[in-house]
C-alpha cells in the first residue's frame, strides 16, 4: 500500500465521539480501510489521543498495512502516531489545509503575547539569517502581512511545496532535498526582510520552514518518490457521502446506530465500488475522465519557443505547468508522445516514481487492499 489518508470529524453521534477514518489509495482512488471512534470529553489531550492512535495504527500494521505516504491535515497527534508506528513513512500535509491555515494567519493581525523564536539557532542552520531580524513585544498595533502581499507569500510557499529532486527546474537541473530546503528558506527569508515583515518571518519559520516542520509539507521530504495525491479530498468526499447519503435522516444519532449504518451500509457500498472498478471493471476510476479531457486540451495547445528538458521515458518536463499539474502532464510531453488510441486512457496509471505515467499497473496495491480488508473483516466477525 503506497499511500494512506486520514482525518477525523465531529458531530456524527450523540456521545460526541470523534470519528476517524483511514483511506487507502488504489490507482488514484481512495477506499475506506478502517474507522476509529475516539471519546473526547474535554480531558482527551494530545498525549492520550496519540497513544490511542498508536494502538489503532499498530492494529493496521499487524494486518499488513505498510504505507509509504501519510496524507493528513496538521493534526500532530495523527502525525506523531504515524511516525511512531511506521518509522520511514513520509508525512504529507494536505495542500488545501496548508493554504487555508496560511491564509487565515495572514489575515489575522492579532498581537501575540509572547515570541517563541530562537534566531541564534536559526542562524546556526543558515548563515544568511540575521538573529536580530525578529519582532519585539510592544503596545503598538502590528501589521502581520499587508493584504497586497498575501498572494505573493502563497505563491512562494506553493512553489516550495512542489519542488522535488525527481522533477527538473526550469533550466533542467535536478536539486537535492537539502538544497531545495535551503533555497526555500533563503527565498522566504529574503522576501520577509525586503518588506520588513518580522512577525511573518517568525510565523513562517516556526510553523513551516524550521528543521522539524519543512519535511511535513515539502514534497522533497521524500527524495526518491512523489505522492500522486496532494490533498485528502477523498476523505472529505467520504464525510460528505456518510452524512448526506447515509445519516441525512438523523441529527447526532446514537452511537450504536452510526456503527450499524457503517457496518451494514457504508462498508458494503465501498466494497461494491472497488469490485466494479478493479474486478468486474464495470466502472472507471474517477480521475480518468478529467485526465482524458485535459490530455486532449493540451494536445491542441501551440508550443512556444521556450526550451525545456523533456523526457518521455521518465515522463518528466522542466516546464512550470508540469511542475504543479496533478496528472503529471503538460503540452510538451503530450505532444511529444503523439497520437494515442482510445484504450490508452484506460490503461494509463499514475506512479510515485519514474516513469510518472505508465501503462503497467502495479496490481499488488489492489491485491494488498483486498487482503487487509478481508483480515479486518474476519477479526470483526470473530469478536
Contact 34, 60 (CB under 8 A): yes
Domains along the sequence of the chain with CATH: 3-94+231-282+366-382 (3.30.420), 96-213 (no CATH), 288-347 (no CATH)
pLDDT, one tens digit per residue, over 189-217 is 999 999 999 999 999 999 999 999 999 99
pLDDT of residue 382 exceeding 50:
no
- Helices 95-106, 150-162: axis angle to 10 degrees equals 150
Q: Which of the two residues, 323 and 237, has the higher pLDDT score? A: 323
pLDDT at 378: 37
pLDDT at 2: 65
pLDDT band at 373 (very low <50, low <70, confident <90, very high): low
Determine the Cα–Cα distance for residues 279 and 262; give it in Å rounded to an integer.
Answer: 23
Which of 294, 288, 236 is CA-nearest to residue 96? 236
Determine the Cα–Cα distance for residues 182 and 242; give it in Å rounded to an integer.
Answer: 43
pLDDT, one tens digit per residue, over 241-253 is 888 888 877 777 8
pLDDT at 41: 62
Q: Which residues contact 206 (CB under 8 A, 6 or more apart)?
A: 116, 117, 213
pLDDT at 274: 93
Residue 71, SS3 per DSSP: strand
Phi and psi torsions of 58, nearest 5°: -60, -40
The total of other beta-carbon atoms located within 10 Å of residue 327's CB is 19
Q: Which of the two residues, 374 and 131, has the higher pLDDT score? A: 131
Across 109-113, 135-139, 212-216, which has the greatest mean pLDDT?
212-216
Phi and psi torsions of 253, nearest 5°: -70, 170
Determine the Cα–Cα distance for residues 168 and 171; give it in Å rounded to an integer.
Answer: 8
Contact 167, 187 (CB under 8 A): no
pLDDT at 137: 83
Across 47-61, 145-159, 221-235, which has the greatest mean pLDDT?
145-159
Determine the Cα–Cα distance for residues 244 and 64; give it in Å rounded to an integer.
Answer: 32
pLDDT of residue 43 exceeding 80:
no
pLDDT averaged over every residue in the chain = 88
Q: DSSP letter string over 16-41?
A: --EEEEEEEEETTEEEEEEEEEE--S
Q: For 28-45, what is the mean pLDDT?
A: 80
pLDDT of residue 282 exceeding 80:
yes
pLDDT at 69: 95
pLDDT of residue 368 exceeding 70:
no
pLDDT at 254: 85
SS3 content of the chain, % helix, strand, coil (to 5): 50, 10, 40
Residue 345 to residues 141, 225, 287, 326, Cα–Cα distance (Å): 57, 23, 11, 16
Per-residue b or e along 30-49, where b marks 16 or more CB atoms closer than 10 Å to that residue's CB: bbbbbbbbbeeeeeeeeeeb
Determine the Cα–Cα distance for residues 55 and 97; give it in Å rounded to an integer.
Answer: 26
Q: For 278-295, what is the mean pLDDT?
A: 93
Q: Which of the two residues, 137 and 161, has the higher pLDDT score? A: 161
pTM of the model: 0.88
Determine the Cα–Cα distance for residues 24 and 33; give it in Å rounded to an integer.
Answer: 6
pLDDT band at 380 (very low <50, low <70, confident <90, very high): very low
The total of other beta-carbon atoms located within 10 Å of residue 93's CB is 25
Residue 148, SS3 per DSSP: helix
pLDDT at 18: 85
Tell me which of 43-57, 155-169, 214-228, 324-338 is least confident: 43-57
Q: For 262-287, what is the mean pLDDT?
A: 91
Q: For 15-29, what is the mean pLDDT?
A: 87
User: Looking only at Cα atoms, what is the longest distance across the chain?
Assistant: 68
Amino acid at each position: 500500500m503506497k499511500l494512506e489518508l486520514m482525518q477525523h470529524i465531529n458531530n456524527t453521534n450523540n456521545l460526541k465521539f470523534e470519528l476517524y477514518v483511514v483511506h487507502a489509495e488504489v490507482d488514484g482512488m481512495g477506499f475506506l480501510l478502517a474507522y476509529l471512534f475516539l471519546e473526547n470529553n474535554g480531558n482527551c489531550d494530545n498525549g492520550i489521543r496519540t497513544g490511542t492512535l498508536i494502538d489503532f495504527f499498530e492494529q493496521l500494521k499487524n494486518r499488513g498495512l505498510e504505507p509509504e505516504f501519510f496524507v493528513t491535515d496538521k493534526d500532530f497527534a495523527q502525525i506523531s502516531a504515524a511516525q511512531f508506528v511506521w518509522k520511514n513513512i513520509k508525512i504529507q500535509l494536505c495542500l488545501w489545509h496548508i493554504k487555508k491555515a496560511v491564509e487565515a494567519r495572514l489575515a489575522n493581525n492579532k498581537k501575540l503575547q509572547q515570541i517563541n523564536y530562537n534566531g541564534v539557532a536559526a542562524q546556526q542552520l543558515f548563515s544568511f539569517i540575521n538573529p536580530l531580524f525578529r519582532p519585539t513585544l510592544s503596545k503598538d498595533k502590528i501589521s502581520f502581512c499587508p493584504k497586497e502581499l498575501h498572494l505573493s507569500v502563497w505563491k512562494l510557499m506553493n512553489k516550495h511545496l512542489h519542488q522535488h529532486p525527481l522533477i527538473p527546474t526550469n533550466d533542467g537541473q535536478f536539486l537535492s532535498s537539502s538544497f531545495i530546503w535551503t533555497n526555500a528558506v533563503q527565498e522566504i527569508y529574503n522576501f520577509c526582510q525586503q518588506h520588513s515583515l518580522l512577525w511573518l518571518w517568525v510565523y513562517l519559520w516556526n510553523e513551516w520552514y524550521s528543521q522539524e516542520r519543512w519535511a511535513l509539507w515539502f514534497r522533497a521530504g521524500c527524495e526518491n518518490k512523489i505522492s500522486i495525491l496532494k490533498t485528502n479530498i477523498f476523505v472529505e468526499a467520504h464525510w460528505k457521502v456518510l452524512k448526506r447519503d447515509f445519516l441525512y435522516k438523523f441529527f447526532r444519532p446514537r452511537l450504536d446506530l452510526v456503527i450499524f449504518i457503517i457496518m451494514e451500509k457504508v462498508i458494503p457500498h465501498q466494497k461494491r465500488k472497488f469490485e466494479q472498478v478493479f474486478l468486474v471493471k464495470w466502472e472507471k476510476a474517477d480521475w480518468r475522465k478529467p485526465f482524458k479531457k485535459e490530455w486532449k486540451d493540451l494536445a491542441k495547445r501551440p508550443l512556444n519557443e521556450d526550451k525545456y528538458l523533456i523526457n518521455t521515458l521518465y515522463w518528466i518536463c522542466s516546464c512550470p505547468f508540469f511542475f504543479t499539474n496533478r496528472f503529471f502532464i503538460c503540452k510538451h510531453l503530450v505532444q511529444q508522445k503523439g497520437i494515442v488510441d482510445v484504450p490508452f486512457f484506460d490503461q494509463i496509471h499514475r506512479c510515485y516514481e519514474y516513469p510518472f505515467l505508465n501503462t503497467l499497473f502495479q496490481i499488488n496495491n489492489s491485491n494488498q487492499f483486498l487482503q487487509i480488508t478481508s483480515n479486518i473483516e474476519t477479526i470483526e466477525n470473530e469478536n
